[in-house]
Structure 1
Amino acid sequence: MTDPRPLPDLPGVRHRHLDVDADGTVLHLAEAGPSTGIPLLFLHGFPQHWYAWRHVVPLLDREFRLLCLDLPGFGWSAAPRRGGHTTDDRARLVLAALDRLGLDRVGLVGHDWGAWTGFELALRAPERFTGLLALNMTHPWPRQRALLGTAWRFWYTALLEYPGVGRRVVRHRPGLLGYLLRRGVPAETPWPADELAEYVAAGSTPGAARAAERLHWGFVVRDIPRLALGRFRHRRLTVPTRLLGGELDPVIRPALLSPAGAPADDLTAEVLPGCGHFLPHERPGEVAAAVRRLFAA
Structure 2
Amino acid sequence: MHLPEVPGVTHRFVDLPTRGVRLHVAEAGADEGETVLLLHDFPQHWYAWRHVIPLLSADHRILAVDLRGFGWSDAPRGGYTGIAIADDLVALLDALGLKRVHLIGHGWGGWIGFILSVRRPERVQRFVAVNMTHLWPNHRKMLPNAWRMWHTALFEYPPFGRLLLRRGRWFIRFLLRHWSRDGSVLDRATLDVYADVFRDPAHARAGEQLHFQYVIREIFGHPRGRFRTAHLAVPTLIIGGRDDVVFPPSVLADGEGHADDLHVAIVEDAGHLLPEERPEAVAEHARAFFALRSACSGSRP
Would the TM-score normalized by the shorter structure come out above 0.5?
yes
Q: How does 1:1-297 map to 2 (within 5 A)?
A: 5-22=1-18, 24-81=20-77, 83-187=78-182, 190-260=185-255, 262-296=257-291, 297=294
Q: Which moved more, 1:278-287 or 1:21-30?
A: 21-30
Secondary structure of 2:228 counterpart: helix
- Aligned Cα root-mean-square deviation (Å): 1.4
Q: Which residue of 1 aligns with 2:299?
A: none
User: Deviations for 1:167-216, whole angstroms, at most 9, x for unmatched residues?
Assistant: 01111122111111000111275212321221122244323211110000
The amino acid that maps onto 2:263 is T
Contact 2:76 2:202 in 1 (8 A): no
**Stretch of structure 1 that moved more, 105-114 or 195-204:** 195-204
Say whether the 8 Å CA contact 1:259–1:269 is kept in structure 2: no
The C-alpha deviation readout for 1:234-290, integer Å capped at 9, x for no partner, is 100000000001111111111110035531000011111221000000111111111
Cα 1:190–1:36, aligned 2, differ >3 Å: closer, same or farther? same
The Cα of 1:23 is off from its aligned counterpart by 5.9
Q: Secondary structure at the match of 1:84?
A: coil
Distance (whole Å) between structure 1 residues aligned to residue 184 and residue 242 of structure 2? 14
Taking a change above 3 Å as real, the CA distance of residues 128 and 165 of structure 1, as seen in their structure-2 partners, is same
Q: Give the deviation of 1:22 after TM superposition.
A: 3.4
Partner Cα distance (1:23, 1:43) in 2: 18
Q: 1:74–1:211: 8 Å Cα contact kept in structure 2?
A: yes
Q: Matched residue of 2:220: which SS?
A: helix
Q: Is there any run of 5+ residues in structure 1 with no aligned partner, and where?
A: none
How many Å separate the matches in 2 of 1:291 and 1:172? Answer: 37
TM-score, normalized by length of structure 2?
0.93
User: CA shift at 1:20, angstroms?
Assistant: 1.1
State the shift of 1:25 in Å.
1.1
Q: Structure 1 stretch 183-192 or stretch 276-285: which is displaced more?
A: 183-192
Once the two structures are overlaid, the 10-residue window that deviates more, 193-202 or 240-249, is: 193-202
**Alignment CA distance shift 1:39-1:260 (3 Å):** closer
In 2, the alpha carbon distance for the partners of 1:79 and 1:25 equals: 8
**Distance across 2 between alignment mates of 1:11 and 1:113:** 26
Where in structure 1 do 4 or more consecutive aligned residues deviate above 6 Å?
none
| Bigger Cα displacement from structure 2, 267-276 vs 120-129 | 267-276
How far 1:24 moved relative to its partner?
3.8
TM-score, normalized by length of structure 1? 0.95
On the 8 A contact 1:259/1:268 being kept in 2, the answer is no
User: SS in structure 2 opposite 1:134?
Assistant: strand
Letter in 1 for 2:164: V
Question: For this pair of structures, how many residues does the alignment match?
Answer: 292
Change (3 A) 1:188 1:177: closer
Q: For residues 204 and 111 of structure 1, what CA distance do their matches in structure 2 show?
A: 23
Mean alpha-carbon deviation: is it higher for 180-189 or for 112-121? Answer: 180-189
TM superposition shift of 1:232: 1.4
Measure, in 2, the Cα distance between the counterparts of 1:241 and 1:183.
28
SS of 2:231's partner is coil
Secondary structure in 1 aligned to 2:103?
Answer: strand
2:141 and 2:251 in contact (8 A); partners too: yes
How high is the sequence identity, in percent, across the aligned residues?
Answer: 47
